[in-house]
Amino acid sequence: MSETTLTRRQLLAGGMTLGAAGLLAACVGTTSGGGGGGGSAGTGAVTLQNSIQDADPKAALEALVKAYQGGDVTLNSVATEQFRAQLTNYLRSGDSPEVLSWYAGSVARAYADEGLLLDVSSLWEGDGPCAGFSDALRSLSSDASGAQIFVPTNYYWWSVFYKRSAFEKWGVEPPTTWDEFHALCENLSGQGVAPLANGLSSTPWMASGWFDYLDLRLNGAQYHRELLAGEHAFNDPEVVAVMEEYKRLVPYFDKNAASYTAQEAATPVAQDATAMYLVGAFVSGYFPEDQRDDLDFFSVPVIDDAVPTAEEAPTDGFFAAARSDNHEGALDLLAYLASADAQQQFIERSRSSNLPTSPDVDTSAFSPLVQKGIALLNDTEEITQFFNRDSSDALQATADTALTKFLADPDSLTSILDEWQTAAEGVRGS
Amino acid sequence: MSAPPTRRRLARVPLLVWVFLLVPLAAELFWVFWPAANSFSLALTRWDGIGLAEPVGLQNFRDLADDPIFLTALRNNVIWVVGFGGLSVVGGLALAVTLNRPGPFVGLYRSAIYLPMVVSLAVSGLFWRVMYAPEGPVNAALGALGLESLERQWLADPAVALGAVLVAAVWRQVGYIMVLYLAGLKGTDGSLEEAAAVDGANAWQRFWRIVMPQLRGVSTVVFAVTVIDSLRTFDIVWAMTRGGPYNETQLLSTYMFQQAFTTGNLGYASAIAVVIFALAIGFIITYLARQARTED
């Protein structure tokens, strides 16, 4: 971030540090290359580039890596946005980190298409650690040729989260139909409570949550995937219908939504000033510890019965770089991270509401909230991930601009959708 | 002076000095000029940072001319150069003149005003984000004064967001300009001012006719520093708004960063970098040429 203020001296110092780091890395390489037989698998040094930033999940991964017996693992944790910016550089460099944490789906597939990801199909075959994962996960983790290039280790669901105690206080019930949802919003507004939370300042992608769900409810998952793949235009009548529905929600949002981040937006919900928050299950980490058991959720109600049910379930995990030195070590570490034991430990230690991808994880001890999340995803007909994961980070940027602008000025809908389509074509053309 | 003595003097420069000069020069060429030159050639390509760069001629620049976000960024940059430059120079000069005379706590004031400069722009940005938060001190102060109607979503309302960031940036820069002018004022000749006072010039005339001309050297430095600083402003905007809401506070630098590292259009981003470079060089050369002419 600071490259514009780098002085020449800092640049030189940086260069020297890089050089020194290179030397150090070379030393590490030599030593463990020689003594690699010490571990049980003896697969040599492996670098794990980690983008997990929240404190508890990061600590959980550190603990997992520490317990790994297969060889020396250097864990580099990088802030998510920085990681995103640097990811192509990591994968392109001649001495790429062996294993990197990132997301399944289109976003991983795009890197695979460039030939940057290691084929990890061997983990998905026979008695490999991923062999028992669901078919949905398998297809999410496959590249265009059908080979697996991703190892999913956990996922989570999106829903409308609320506090049971607050709903009791206001004398309201979770809605089951779209009309009830609107009636609930009206009721809460009348009581002086902001019905819907959101945080769009440095996390403008949060505006895509409602967009995705309204598109899933009105046009269905198939259309949604096609739209994000560029087969439909953002100014098509189907999308206009989604935005008209979105427009009806605009008055219900917390008036400070544009100033909050995703995390800050949870504060008024915790304080019973705002009622509901369409967000990923990671939101439980934003609430005070003594409120987490009070959290509950309901799925965005069905709008059109004819449309198959669908939920968003972003999948996290790891992939391996094709251009690293130690493919064997990478596969061994991936196998470890994908194992049921490692998944269980990660989820427990990270105190998140994430779900395991391995069917062998014993989920009976997980909180009722997580049990309900598992049931939600088991019952739904279609699963999507999230706007950026079903398309690309570049297309997400166009959505951020269009949707935040729309939320500030819903009446300019037509021109905003035209601009969005132009911007999307620009992204796809480049 | 004839050539031979010069050559003899050069020959007398010890080898070690040449080494000390050439090593940094080589480093500078490799680490600064070579990448900079590269960005010029990249500006003529389409490159995602992964595959091969595909030459597209001037297409990137034609696209820029039609890109609404680029035009917003350009407009914002003009506002920024004028607002940031103008406010920090006027503010810094006024503070320097005020604090140049002896008085109680002058040293304390000077250090207090310079203090924000010590903090990095990114940290200032975070600090001001707290100030501007919906329930933050700025809105709370307005509420306490009974000015609820002036309360705003300072960083989320496109009408005021750029101004809000500008205030934060000027808050930091003003101390720096003040120090530069304070140093300049120490170098002015007090007796000239006294003589003018004896001749009946009032304070305003003395300042503009006697003091300011003596500050011309400092003003050149201040101008150059301010223009360069305002064109390269990045961190405070990135820390406060990331160019949002919906690109309304985008500057050329933040848009360049976004294009290069979020969207992965390195060729397009390099074209923006070339525009920034041309603007900075244009400003500075015009100004220096004018300065040189007035000094002749």
Can you tell me the distance from the alpha carbon of B203 to that of B206, in angstroms, rounded to the nearest whole number?
5
More confident site: A42 or A61:
A61
Q: Is the peptide bond before B245 cis (omega within 30 degrees of 0)?
A: yes
- 3-class DSSP assignment, residue A48: strand
Tokens 């100030």 -> residue: B131
DSSP class of residue A359 equals: T
List CB contacts (< 8 A) between A395 and chain B.
none
Residue ranges of chain A assigned to CATH 3.40.190.10: 22-155+315-360, 158-312+372-429
- Helices B106-118 and B158-186: crossing angle in degrees, nearest 10, is 130
**Residues A200-259 pLDDT 10s:** 988 889 999 999 999 999 999 999 999 998 999 999 999 999 999 999 999 999 999 998
Can you tell me the distance from the alpha carbon of A207 to that of B223, in angstroms, rounded to the nearest whole number?
42
Q: What is the mean pLDDT of residues B163-175?
A: 92
Chain A residue with minimal CA distance to B154?
A259
Contact: B48, A256; criterion CB under 8 Å: no
Strands A310-312, A382-384: pairing kind: parallel
ipTM confidence score: 0.75
Amino acid at site B127: F
* Integer angstrom CA distances of residue B147 from B143, B150, B151: 5, 6, 7
**Residues B215-239 pLDDT 10s:** 988 998 898 888 888 888 898 998 8
B36 CA to centre of own chain: 19
Q: Which residues of B touch A (CB under 8 A)?
A: 27-28, 31-32, 46, 48-51, 68-69, 121-122, 132-135, 153-158, 232-235, 238, 241-242, 244-247, 253, 258, 261-265, 268
List CB contacts (< 8 A) between A107 and chain B.
none
Chain A residue with minimal CA distance to B155?
A259
Q: Is B251 left (phi over 0), alpha (psi -120 to 50) or beta?
A: beta
Can you tell me the distance from the alpha carbon of A2 to that of A61, in angstroms, rounded to the nearest whole number?
28
Strands A194-197, A382-384: pairing kind: unpaired
Please tell me the least confidently modeled range out of A8-22, A206-220, B16-30, B149-163: A8-22
* CATH of A22-155+315-360 given 3.30.70.260, 2.40.440.10, 3.90.850.10, 3.40.190.10: 3.40.190.10
Neighbouring residues of A85: CB distance < 8 A, sequence distance ≥ 6:
B261, B262
Q: Which of B32-36, B72-76, B149-153 has the highest mean pLDDT?
A: B72-76
For the domain made up of A158-312+372-429, give the CATH fold. D-Maltodextrin-Binding Protein; domain 2 (3.40.190)
Residue B49 has pLDDT above 80, yes or no: no
Q: What is the mean pLDDT of residues B195-213?
A: 89
Chain A residue with minimal CA distance to B45?
A430
Tokens 């540090």 -> residue: A17
For the domain made up of B51-295, give the CATH fold. MetI-like fold (1.10.3720)
* Partner residues linked to A310 by β-bridges: A382
Q: What is the mean pLDDT of residues A285-314?
A: 93
Taking the alpha carbons of A234, A237, A238, A244 in that order, is the dihedral positive or negative?
positive
CB A381 within 8 A of CB A396: no
Neighbouring residues of A406: CB distance < 8 A, sequence distance ≥ 6:
A243, A246, A247, A412, A413, A416
Chain B residue with minimal CA distance to A92?
B50
B290 CA to centre of own chain: 20
**Average pLDDT taken over every residue of chain A:** 86
Residue A399 has pLDDT above 90, yes or no: yes
Position B1 scores a pLDDT of 45
Position A240 scores a pLDDT of 96
Contact: A394, B262; criterion CB under 8 Å: yes
List CB contacts (< 8 A) between A8 and chain B.
28, 31-32
Q: How confident is the model at residue A94 (pLDDT cuts 50, 70, 90)?
A: confident
Task: Please give the helix or strand (H or E) that residue A182 lies within, else none.
Answer: helix A178-190
CB A17 within 8 A of CB A46: no
Q: How confident is the model at residue A366 (pLDDT cuts 50, 70, 90)?
A: confident
List CB contacts (< 8 A) between B156 and chain A.
200-201, 258-259, 408
- 3-class DSSP assignment, residue A70: coil
A8–chain B nearest CA distance, Å: 8
Amino acid at site B250: Q
Taking the alpha carbons of A364, A366, A370, A372 in that order, is the dihedral positive or negative?
positive
B285–chain A nearest CA distance, Å: 21
Contact: B48, A88; criterion CB under 8 Å: yes
Q: How confident is the model at residue A7 (pLDDT cuts 50, 70, 90)?
A: very low
Contact: B264, A88; criterion CB under 8 Å: yes
Tokens 């998952």 -> residue: A221
Taking the alpha carbons of A311, A317, A322, A323 in that order, is the dihedral positive or negative?
positive
Q: Which residues of A touch B (CB under 8 A)?
A: 1-2, 4-5, 8, 11-12, 15, 84-86, 88-89, 91-92, 114, 116, 200-202, 204, 255-256, 258-260, 393-394, 397, 400-402, 404-405, 408, 419, 427, 430
**Residues A114-123 pLDDT 10s:** 889 999 999 9
Q: What is the pTM of this model?
A: 0.80
* Partner residues linked to A196 by β-bridges: A253, A276
DSSP class of residue A135 equals: H
Contact: B263, A394; criterion CB under 8 Å: yes
Contact: B121, A114; criterion CB under 8 Å: no
